[in-house]
């Protein structure tokens, strides 16, 4: 795409590849809390696309869409880090719960009850349930899981990305090993938590709708969802 003067038409290229930005933003938003606006991701993604157009060299032997996807995702991840969308305190609480679940499952050889997780954390059941409501675990993959700078020795990406997709975090959930491990982990959730996950992710129901089906409060559904996420992440660490 060139202008009448024979120069590359950047505006035309931006229009051509803007659907790529929208697609990547909507894929990423699915793993982020409701406080993150998809329009914000699209905005910074377009900046990443502009940078990709300026820096792309066909001689590198890479397709432009592959090169641009990396730049666009990188811009979105940088924006999320700068925005501190999930506080360090909340991340620590969520990880404390995950580690407690992992220890109990190894010790008990079954899914621990809420009261057992609370005891393991040195909390009352009420305090534990309040903590679940605070962390609101809405994603299987944390932002630091998508980065080589995470504080885990065994990086999540290293376990689940195929060797030729290390630069593509979104390939994570499409990888066969990840899908198999996730399906197995969901099938081992307590029955009520399986219902919550199924209604939330498979049937695209919101917390209010799930609460009406289960006959509980929205807050209780949020707690069950957070606890399910903690159980799943604890199990996925074992694979």
Domain segments of the chain as ranges: 10-83, 88-236
Does 161 have pLDDT greater than 90?
no
pLDDT value at residue 113: 93
Which CATH entry fits the domain spanning 88-236: 1.20.1420, 1.10.3470, 1.10.12, 1.20.140?
1.20.140
Does 124 have pLDDT greater than 90?
yes
**DSSP line for 130-178:** HHHHHH----SS-GGGGSTT-S-SS-HHHHHS-GGGTT-GGGGGGSHHH
| pLDDT tens string 23-74 | 998 888 876 766 677 888 888 889 889 888 888 888 878 888 989 999 999 8
Rounded to an integer, the average pLDDT of 5-27 is 78
pLDDT value at residue 226: 86
CATH class of 10-83: mainly alpha
Selection from 63-67, 133-137, 156-160 with the highest mean pLDDT: 63-67
Does 137 have pLDDT greater than 90?
no
Ranges 93-97, 114-118, 138-142, 183-187: which has the least confidence: 138-142
Element (H, E) at 195: helix 191-197
pLDDT value at residue 177: 60
Rounded to an integer, the average pLDDT of 96-117 is 93
Question: What CA–CA distance (Å, rounded) separates 231 from 220?
Answer: 16
pLDDT value at residue 134: 76
- Give the mean pLDDT of the chain: 76
pLDDT value at residue 186: 81
Share of the chain above pLDDT 70, in %: 69
Ranges 31-35, 40-44, 136-140, 226-230: which has the least confidence: 136-140
Give the DSSP letter of residue 34. T
Give the DSSP letter of residue 113. P
Rounded to an integer, the average pLDDT of 136-165 is 45
Work out the number of other CB atoms within 10 angstroms of the CB of residue 147.
14
Does 211 have pLDDT greater than 70?
yes
Rounded to an integer, the average pLDDT of 68-85 is 79
Rounded to an integer, the average pLDDT of 102-117 is 93
């Amino acid at each position: 795409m060139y202008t009448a003067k024979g120069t590359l038409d950047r505006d035309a290229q931006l229009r051509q590849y803007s659907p790529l930005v929208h697609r990547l933003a909507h894929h990423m938003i699915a793993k982020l809390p409701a406080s993150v606006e998809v329009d914000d991701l699209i905005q910074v993604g377009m900046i990443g696309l502009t940078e990709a157009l300026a820096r792309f060299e066909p001689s590198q032997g890479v397709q432009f869409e592959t090169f641009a996807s990396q730049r666009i995702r990188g811009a979105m991840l940088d924006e999320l880090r700068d925005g501190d969308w999930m506080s360090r305190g909340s991340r620590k609480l969520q990880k404390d719960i995950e580690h407690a679940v992992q220890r109990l499952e190894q010790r008990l050889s079954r899914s621990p009850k809420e009261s057992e997780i609370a005891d393991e954390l040195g909390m009352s059941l009420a305090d534990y349930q309040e903590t679940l409501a605070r962390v609101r675990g809405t994603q299987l993959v944390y932002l630091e899981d998508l980065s080589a700078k995470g504080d885990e020795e065994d990086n999540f990406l290293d376990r689940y990305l195929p060797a030729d997709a290390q630069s593509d975090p979104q390939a994570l959930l499409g990888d066969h090993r990840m899908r198999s491990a996730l399906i197995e982990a969901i099938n081992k959730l307590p029955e009520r938590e399986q219902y919550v996950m199924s209604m939330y992710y498979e049937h695209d129901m919101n917390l209010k709708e799930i609460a009406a089906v289960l006959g509980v409060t929205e807050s209780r559904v949020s707690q069950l969802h957070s606890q399910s996420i903690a159980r799943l992440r604890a199990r996925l660490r074992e694979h």
